[in-house]
Structure 1
Amino acid sequence: MKRTTKRKLTDAILYAVLVLAVVLAGALIDWSAVKANFFDPAGWKRGGNWGDLITIGVKNTIVYTLVAFVFGFGLAIFLALMKLSPVAPYRWLATGYIEFFRGLPALIVILVMAFGVPIAFNWQPPGGLVGAGLIGLILVAGAYMAETLRAGIQAVPKGQTEAARSLGMSAGRTTLSVVLPQALRIVIPPLTNEFVLLIKDTALLFVIGVQVGQRELTSVARDLTTSGPTAGTSTSLIQAAILYLIITLPLTRLVALLEKRQQRAR
């Protein structure tokens, strides 16, 4: 048997197995239970769950993501420059911070900032529980983005720095005017990916409990499973999942396009 014929036969068998698996799964699923528990018509029609999910959940999720990303990015620049500093103690501090917060689950950091730190230091975080949760997200996001920025800065050819210094630029001005702008272009795809991760990480804020108007998308969906037109079903969770996908899929597609563009540029 020729190699091409053998490959076609193997592909045909694999497709047949896949189709058979889909048919069997479809036959075994209780579609009436799926419809009743995940696609309750009361939640999908106008005036159902969409109002709270979009006007409260999506709005707050986007706001929280932007706040965590902007402040986390500022912290990341500071940490990345510290890690590349010629002063050893600065490098040690930045490395310790980055490794510490990258090694902890974001959920633990949020809980500590919401309950541990206020109790230990008798301190009320700005914004209450939501503010504490956002500080936790900022601390974690800053650690991850710092390592991304550090790699981007080091990817800038050293000749750029040498040329700027030969023109009389100071080290600080060279970093801010020459190195950082080029590094940011390099790390746009991973930073966009970090933004997508932050969108999903805002769902962790539901564990600390927030006021009705401060709920993010997951919290709204969870509350709708016990109250509202689809109480007792998981319809609101499916709707929240759809809204997350509507937000994140275009961004993940953008990351893929940016990565391809960079590869062509190289």
Structure 2
Amino acid sequence: MKRSTKRRLTHGALYVVLALLVLWAWIAVDWPAVANSFLRVDVIREVWWDFLVIGAVNTIKYTAIAFAGGLVLGVLLALMKMSPVGIYRWLATSFIEFFRGLPALIVMLAFAFGVPIATGWLPPGGTVGAGLLGLTLVAGAYMAETLRAGIQAVPKGQAEAARSLGMNPFWTMSTVILPQAFRIVIPPLTNEFVLLIKDTALLFVIGLMVSQRELTTMAQAGMSSGPGAGTATTLTLAAFFYLAITLPLTRVVAWLEARQARSR
């Protein structure tokens, strides 16, 4: 038997197996029960507006705050890790490894509850501010490594050319190296933004007021009270809004990566 024939038969068998699995799932699942729990139209009509103007808006706002703070912190840590001063390198490396090694949830809980109990100090913004501070520190640790790689990817000749023109190290880094590094790391930074959107879901564990709730907190509250109580419809609605936000961004990441690959 020819190799091409074997390949076609194998592919055909895989398609048959997949079709049988889909058919079995279609027969085995109680679709009316699923729809009654996950897709209650009356619940969606009742709560979708609150999910949009409160949950989705807060999710994007929290993500933007954590990303901006993490980006500033990441630049600082990346420069410190590349510093010729040993103590700066040690401090940056210790910070990065510490916060990359901890779950974001642990860091957020520590700033929301542990630090206030131990010191009496609560970050600005209350528990939301504490949660965002923890998320910012973790994001900054990850972005620092991304930015460091981007800086090191800039050809050394760029810095040498700037210095030959009389530019000091500060202006060389800020006006020549960093702009090129940012162009290189735009795709991974955009991907980090997408991850932060999903990580804001962790804020639900620290307790939020109604006006502060993001999508996951609203979904969790909606399953226990209100028109969606006893169903998972609010969870479905939150998933829809998450996908509406993240899917376009993931396509942007793919486009940017393809564009960079073509330019190289």
How large is the Cα RMSD of the aligned pairs?
Answer: 0.7
Aligned counterpart, 2:19 = 19
Aligned counterpart, 1:246 = 244
1:159 pairs with 154, 157, 160, which one? 157
Aligned counterpart, 2:30 = 30
Aligned counterpart, 1:118 = 116
- Work out the CA distance in 2 between the residues paired with 1:202 and 1:189: 20
- Work out the CA distance in 1 between the residues paired with 2:3 and 2:70: 54
1:78 deviates by 0.4
- Could you list the per-position Cα deviations for residues 118-138 of structure 1 after superposition, in whole angstroms to 9, with x for gaps in the alignment? 111111211100000000010
Aligned counterpart, 2:259 = 261
Aligned counterpart, 1:150 = 148
Deviates more, 1:95-104 or 1:219-228: 219-228
1:102-117 correspondence runs (5 A): 102-117=100-115
Residue 2, structure 1, aligned to residue 21, structure 2? no
- Work out the CA distance in 2 between the residues paired with 1:204 and 1:154: 33
Q: Number of residue pairs matched?
A: 264
- Work out the CA distance in 1 between the residues paired with 2:256 and 2:76: 25
1:32 deviates by 1.4
2:78·2:148 contact (CA, 8 Å) conserved in 1? Answer: yes
More helix by share: 2
1:46-85 correspondence runs (5 A): 48-85=46-83
1:95-106 correspondence runs (5 A): 95-106=93-104
Unaligned runs of 5+ in 2: none
- Work out the CA distance in 2 between the residues paired with 1:124 and 1:143: 22
1:178 deviates by 0.5
2:228 partner SS: coil
1:226 deviates by 1.4
- Work out the CA distance in 2 between the residues paired with 1:178 and 1:41: 55
1:13 partner SS: helix
- Work out the CA distance in 2 between the residues paired with 1:162 and 1:29: 66
- Could you list the per-position Cα deviations for residues 191-214 of structure 1 after superposition, in whole angstroms to 9, with x for gaps in the alignment? 000000000000000000011110
Aligned counterpart, 2:39 = 39
2:127·2:208 contact (CA, 8 Å) conserved in 1? Answer: yes
- Work out the CA distance in 1 between the residues paired with 2:44 and 2:214: 19
Q: TM-score, normalised by structure 1?
A: 0.98
1:158 deviates by 0.5
Q: TM-score, normalised by structure 2?
A: 0.99
One-letter code aligned to 1:86 = P
2:112·2:122 contact (CA, 8 Å) conserved in 1? Answer: no
The share of aligned pairs that are identical, in percent, is: 66
1:51 deviates by 1.6
- Work out the CA distance in 2 between the residues paired with 1:231 and 1:210: 19
One-letter code aligned to 2:178 = L
Aligned counterpart, 2:195 = 197
- Work out the CA distance in 1 between the residues paired with 2:209 and 2:12: 55
1:127 pairs with 120, 125, 129, which one? 125
- Work out the CA distance in 2 between the residues paired with 1:233 and 1:70: 36
1:226-237 correspondence runs (5 A): 226-237=224-235
- Work out the CA distance in 2 between the residues paired with 1:128 and 1:261: 42
Residue 175, structure 1, aligned to residue 176, structure 2? no
1:225 partner SS: helix
One-letter code aligned to 1:23 = L
1:41 deviates by 2.0
